[in-house]
Copies of this chain bind each other. A is one copy, B any other.
Amino acid sequence: MIIISKDVRIIMQTFDVMKDSRITLKDLAQVLNLSPSTISRALADHPAISEATKEKVQKKAEELGFIPNSIASSFRKKKSHTLGVIVPRIDIHFHSLVISGIEEFAYKTGYNVTIFQSKDSITREKEITKLLQNKMVEGVIVCLATETYNYDHFKKFRKLGVPLVFYDRVPSNYDTNKIVINDFESAFKATEHLIKKGCTRIAHIAGNQSTPIFKARLQGYKSAIKKHHGNLDEKLIIPCKTLSYEEGALCAEKFLKFSPMPDGIFCANDYTAVSVIQVFRKAGIKIPEDTAVVGFSNYPISRVIEPHLTTINDRAFQMGIEAAKLLIRLIEEEKKSIKSETITLETELIIRESSMKP
């Protein structure tokens, strides 16, 4: 559907005339009979410029619709005021929350955010790191691709003096800045909650054990069980690859065949937890009376599923805020710090009906 009206023609004319006729500092200088340097300083509120000229310049700039060319400025000052962000996928709710936090803080501080998706591919991740170096970003925030176990492609940033902050899926054995939650403690809390609710056979749907966060969650679960129940039944632990909704259903089917069945299940994420609840309910198992369920991440779905899901708030938005805050601090610090920082965010157990045993 294409519409060409008389109106559009008029607009086009304007368009063609104005095209690329951006007013520059020099133009302003000429008009005002001042030097470009004075204009520049006036606009930057430099103390050496008199208030009178400052006002004059401001007014004229406004009048002529002067738009400072920040690329020229970046070029000259060697500062792009841009942060690069590499996430596995933008459309995963957790990451979109983190990005939202990053943008929020960056915007307030005057930085721009350029995003890239690694699609969990190390090849693409490497490509992106190269791009980011060209682009002269001032700092980079990364959540590693699942495939990434070697971090060499990030070393160049250090050489270039570009600070890095990793979040969630962070490098192990590599000293750098990290924003994480305490997965161990969170899992411990979640498991302990089930124990306190009277569960005696608590199962765990575990994530990919080559990913540190899921490993830590399993450890937290184990630790809580050992502390309160003494011994641990390894059979109650079912490892998953992707922790998808579908995989969760498969785990649930397995649990249904156990005898006795688990009376509590701690799932490494919310998708599998939701899946378990649905499969169990279809099988006539009452949640939470027969089996209590706890998830991890506080996805929107957790407060929609019936019964509402007890889960761990993983502070995704806050993670983004902290990542941006730390990164910008590192960028603006006079002498770039040598120390690497790891910020651990406090999680919170959100207790809902799925674990409220009578």
Q: Which residues of A contact B (CB under 8 A)?
A: 1-5, 7-9, 11-12, 14-15, 18-20, 22, 67-72, 74-75, 78, 80, 82, 89-93, 95-97, 99-100, 103-104, 107, 112-117, 131, 133-136, 158-161, 175, 245, 274, 278, 300-301, 304-306, 317, 336, 338-342, 344
Question: Would you call A91 and B1 a contact (CB within 8 A)?
Answer: no
Question: Would you call A175 and B74 a contact (CB within 8 A)?
Answer: no
User: At the interface, is chain A mostly helix, strand, loop or mixed?
Assistant: mixed
Question: Would you call B91 and A117 a contact (CB within 8 A)?
Answer: no
Q: Give the number of times this chain occurs in the complex, counting copies.
A: 2
Question: Would you call A71 and B161 a contact (CB within 8 A)?
Answer: no
Question: Would you call B134 and A68 a contact (CB within 8 A)?
Answer: yes
Question: 18 additional contacts, CB 8 Å, given A3-B340, A19-B160?
Answer: A2-B340, A5-B175, A8-B339, A14-B159, A15-B161, A22-B160, A69-B134, A70-B136, A71-B75, A89-B100, A90-B96, A90-B103, A95-B96, A99-B115, A103-B116, A112-B135, A114-B114, A114-B115
Measured between beta carbons, the chain B residues less than 8 angstroms from A338 are 4, 8-9, 12
Question: Would you call A160 and B18 a contact (CB within 8 A)?
Answer: yes
Closest beta carbon of chain B to A68's beta carbon, Å: 6
Given contacts A96-B91, A103-B90, A103-B115, contact A15 B158 (CB under 8 A): yes
Question: Would you call B116 and A15 a contact (CB within 8 A)?
Answer: no
Given contacts A15-B336, A90-B96, A96-B93, contact A72 B70 (CB under 8 A): no
Question: Would you call B117 and A114 a contact (CB within 8 A)?
Answer: no
Measured between beta carbons, the chain B residues less than 8 angstroms from A97 are 91
Measured between beta carbons, the chain B residues less than 8 angstroms from A245 are 304
Question: Would you call A11 and B90 a contact (CB within 8 A)?
Answer: no
Name A317's contact: one of B80, B91, B96, B133 (CB within 8 Å).
Answer: B91
How far is it, in angstroms, between the C-alpha of A277 and the C-alpha of B14 when the chains are bound? 54
Measured between beta carbons, the chain B residues less than 8 angstroms from A72 are 75
Measured between beta carbons, the chain B residues less than 8 angstroms from A22 are 160
Measured between beta carbons, the chain B residues less than 8 angstroms from A136 are 69-71
How far is it, in angstroms, between the C-alpha of A15 and the C-alpha of B156 when the chains are bound? 10
Question: Would you call A18 and B70 a contact (CB within 8 A)?
Answer: no
Closest beta carbon of chain B to A324's beta carbon, Å: 13
Measured between beta carbons, the chain B residues less than 8 angstroms from A131 are 112
Given contacts A18-B159, A339-B2, contact A114 B82 (CB under 8 A): yes
Measured between beta carbons, the chain B residues less than 8 angstroms from A80 are 71
Question: Would you call B113 and A107 a contact (CB within 8 A)?
Answer: no
